[in-house]
Amino acid sequence: SLLNIAAFFGALGSSFIYGYNLSVVNAPASFIKAFYNKTWIERYGEPIAAETVTLLWSITVSIFAIGGLLGALSVSSIIRVLGRKGTLLLNNGFAVIAALLLALGETAKSFEMLIVGRFIIGVDSGIALSVLPMYLGEITPKHIRGSIGQFNSILICLGVFTGQVLGLPELLGQVSRWNHLFSFLAVPAVLQLCVLPFLPESPRYLLMERRDEAGAERAFQRFLGKKDVSQELEEVHAEARAQDNVQRASVLQLLKNPAVHWQLITIMITMACYQLCGLNAIWYYTNGILLEAGFAKNIIPYITLSTGAIETLAAIASGLVIERIGRKPLLIFGFSAMAVFFSLLTVFLNFQDSVSWMPYLSYICILAVIASFCSGPGGIPFILTGELFEQSYRPAAFMIAGTVNWLSNFAVGLLFPFIQKLQSFAFLVFVVVCILGSIYLYFVLPETKNQTFMDISQSFAKINKISAPAQEMELVLSMKPDVNGKAQDVTNMDSSS
């Protein structure tokens, strides 16, 4: 259906690029450092100092997160002008520019181009990870909102996997070809540019912010593939009536409003756990553990592929069951399972040297941690950010969630070398994060599957200790039924929740 096409191509030009950039720098690391050295000699007539190479390399890797932060912060203002779809389209421009800079840096003998390119692709990812989940959440009917939202997570994983595959020495992971690893970035962006212009804009955005009733109706008709979309339109109208301010709220208004207090805390905690739960740390360890297990160095890249493959499969499985099981159980299961397998991994790593088959158990634990992460925590935080806030707060909410996401990402990169000094006990830090996250979600997060955005606001109204304006609206609605009698449906649906 058109929804699946929108979700796939939307995510291909957004989430896929983010995932790809997470893994793509691993394979060519030594070639890029050699290129930095060569350029340095040509410029300054002397080899580059070891610490300068390390510094330049860590800037190349980490500036991605700084770009991501900048992208997340700029979303609110770009979206106001261009809408959801327009912002996704503009974002492809960043991806193509970054691909050119990264691919041509070697030819131009400029390592600055690589650093700037990494920064720009960071900006692209920051925008993508905020706008795509927002777009997907707004075009989808409530009973499949979660599974369509998981396209974001599935394509992040697929991106990571593609980065691993293309980085193999037989493909592009060679001295002569590493720059093509970066030119590949233009492919998903161009594909999205070919498809997205023909898809409709978010109907919620058209109706609530552009006041374009006819456009919203057409968009719903095309996305849902049916003529009569009065029920969907009525749901959006009811949302618009229930909102205290239909004008878009700023970040400051969002932070000050007591009615969205716990939604905000929940999103910030979930996003922080998404980055701080230790998945990033796993990638650093995999190769070391495999070496210890006695695998030959030249086959390790192939075994590492299994991590990317497990990730993708777990994300797909999660997308298939999310509407049956719900968001909350998957999140809590994911974080708790990660805590269990991290604890086991700590035990196994301690006995790594004394028992010959221990490293295999460690490796199985690594796969289990990755699968647990992708079963819930890997994608649901983005779905929830779209679900927990009504239309006028959504851009500001994604901006705050994005800021927390990228700052935590950056923090992990900075703190990780220090955590590493704990050696095999490093993972216990993450066990604590996962357990605390699970406990918080267990007590605070209501289930959001198959609920309208209004239902969700109401379930939080109880926690925020506020009588929701929506309920008063509903009394008014139920007294004078709509022409189609649709308002009555809305009331009955809500009273059951």
Task: Looking at the structure, tell me whether residues 390 and 318 fall in a common domain.
Answer: yes
3-state DSSP assignment of residue 196? helix
How high is the pLDDT of residue 180? 93
pLDDT tens readout for residues 412-432: 877 877 877 777 788 898 999
pLDDT tens for each residue of 134-169? 999 999 998 999 999 999 999 999 999 999 999 998
Please report the pLDDT score of residue 304 as a whole number. 86
pLDDT of residue 27: 84
In the predicted structure, residue 117 carries a pLDDT above the cut 50:
yes
At 324 the pLDDT is 94
279 & 349 share domain: yes
Residue 321 falls inside a structural domain: yes
C-alpha–C-alpha distance, residues 318 and 375, integer Å? 5
Determine the length of the chain: 497
**What is the total count of domains within the chain?**
2
Please indicate, yes or no, whether residues 313 and 459 belong to a single structural domain of this protein.
yes
The answer to whether residue 208 is domain-embedded is: no
Cα 92 to Cα 71, 81, 164, 292, distances in angstroms: 13, 17, 22, 42
With respect to residue 70, please indicate whether it lies within any of the assigned structural domains: yes
Per-residue pLDDT for 482 more than 50? no
Percent of the chain with pLDDT over 70: 93
What CATH number is associated with residue 257? 1.20.1250.20
**Domain co-membership, 185 together with 255:** no
Q: What are the φ/ψ torsions at residue 89 (nearest 5 degrees)?
A: -65, -45
Please tell me whether residues 182 and 281 are part of one structural domain: no
Q: Is 206 domain-assigned?
A: no
Contact 403, 251 (CB under 8 A): no
Lowest mean pLDDT among 43-57, 89-103, 132-146: 43-57
DSSP, collapsed to helix, strand or coil, labels residue 407 as helix
User: 96: pLDDT confidence band, cut at 50, 70 and 90?
Assistant: very high
Domain assignment present for residue 104? The answer is yes
Alpha carbons 425 and 344: distance in angstroms, whole number: 11
| Statement to judge: residues 186 and 262 lie in one domain | no
Tokens of 174: 């060679």
Whether 327 and 425 share a structural domain: yes
Asked which of 199, 218, 241 is the last residue of a domain, the reply is 199
Are 194 and 267 within one domain? no
Please choose, from the candidates 57, 312, 24, the residue with its C-alpha nearest in 3D space to the C-alpha of residue 167.
24
Tell me: do 274 and 406 sit in the same domain: yes
Are 354 and 437 found together in one domain? yes
Q: Report whether 225 contacts 368 (CB < 8 A).
A: no
Comparing 392 with 193, the larger pLDDT belongs to 193
Q: Would you say residue 86 lies in a domain?
A: yes
What is the extent of the structural domain holding 315? 249-476
Query: Is residue 454, in this structure, part of any structural domain at all?
Result: yes
Q: What is the pLDDT of residues 191-247, one digit of tens each?
A: 999 999 999 999 999 998 888 999 999 999 999 999 999 998 998 888 888 775 557
| CA-closest candidate to residue 179, choices 166, 198, 164, 192 | 166
Tens digits of residue pLDDT in 340-360: 999 999 898 888 778 888 888
Cα angle for residues 405, 332, 275 (degrees, 5° grid): 20
> Nearest-CA neighbor of 338 among 425, 428, 268?
428
Mean pLDDT estimate for the chain:
88
Q: Are residues 315 and 437 in the same domain?
A: yes
Domain C-terminal end among 158, 174, 199: 199
Place of tokens 């099981």: 325
pLDDT of residue 468: 46
| DSSP letter (8 states) at residue 197 | G
pLDDT of residue 356: 80
Tell which residue, 163, 157, 161, 154, has the closest CA to residue 136.
Answer: 154
Residue 123 lies in a domain: yes
Mean pLDDT of the 164-192 span: 93
Q: Which amino acid is at 225?
A: G
**Same domain, yes or no: 26 and 90:** yes
